[in-house]
Amino acid sequence: MAEQKTTCSSCGREIRLVTAERRHGMCVPCHRNAAKPLEELLADQVFERIDAVIGPATDPKAAVQDLQALPPGYALCYAFQHVHAEILNGGISQLYSNSAWSLILQAEEAARQAGVSRVSNLLREIVFYYHQRNRSKHKRSLAEDYFASLPSNWDKSLKQLDDDFFCMEQDANSVILRLCCDNQELFTDA
């Protein structure tokens, strides 16, 4: 006997009747999306648009350049997502060694715009760590007072910075969600 079918009430895709009964008339992906909080849905939309502009496996510098055609929030989300992923994957030294290092100033701005000052301050400290060692690669991009908020006796090791980042991982995970939800003007086309 053939299985009974119906269509998803959200997207119209053909699904099994038993799935529709279990998922309030929806297919599994639509049901999963319906359960997502608003900020996750907004972030998903932002990254769908980013992917549509930059395509797969794009060099970070080229991707940010392509994203300049969009409102600034898109490049900020892209930068933060890459910097965050590199640190989680291999620590700050891996971030510094890879092309995502070019995005750290924008990632810091993303955290600042999102109101996640702990993460913003730590990213600034990471830049300072390499700046002190004449290895920042961002000297020309830094405002004269970029490090003014850091104490004059600042002296953290790379391990301390890594540990600090992992201690505030929950805050870091909230940056993109807060940026998308609380700063929608950054995503509005002019």
Q: Could you read off the pLDDT of 150-186 as tens digits, one per residue?
A: 999 999 999 999 999 999 999 999 999 999 999 989 9
Can you spell out the DSSP letters for 15-52?
EEHHHHHHTTT--HHHHHHHTS-HHHHHHHHHHHHHHH
1 pLDDT higher than 70 = no
> CB neighbours of 110 closer than 8 A, spacing ≥ 6?
76, 77, 79, 80, 175, 176, 179
Answer yes or no: are the C-beta atoms of 51 and 40 closer than 8 Å: no
Q: SS3 for 116?
A: coil
Angle made by CA atoms 27, 31, 34, in degrees to the nearest 5: 145
* Residue-wise pLDDT tens digits, 8-40: 898 899 988 888 888 888 888 888 777 777 788
Please write the tens of the pLDDT for every residue from 110-149: 999 999 999 999 999 999 999 999 898 888 889 999 999 9
Contact 25, 9 (CB under 8 A): yes
Tokens matching residue 112:
């600042």
Tokens of 174: 């909230």
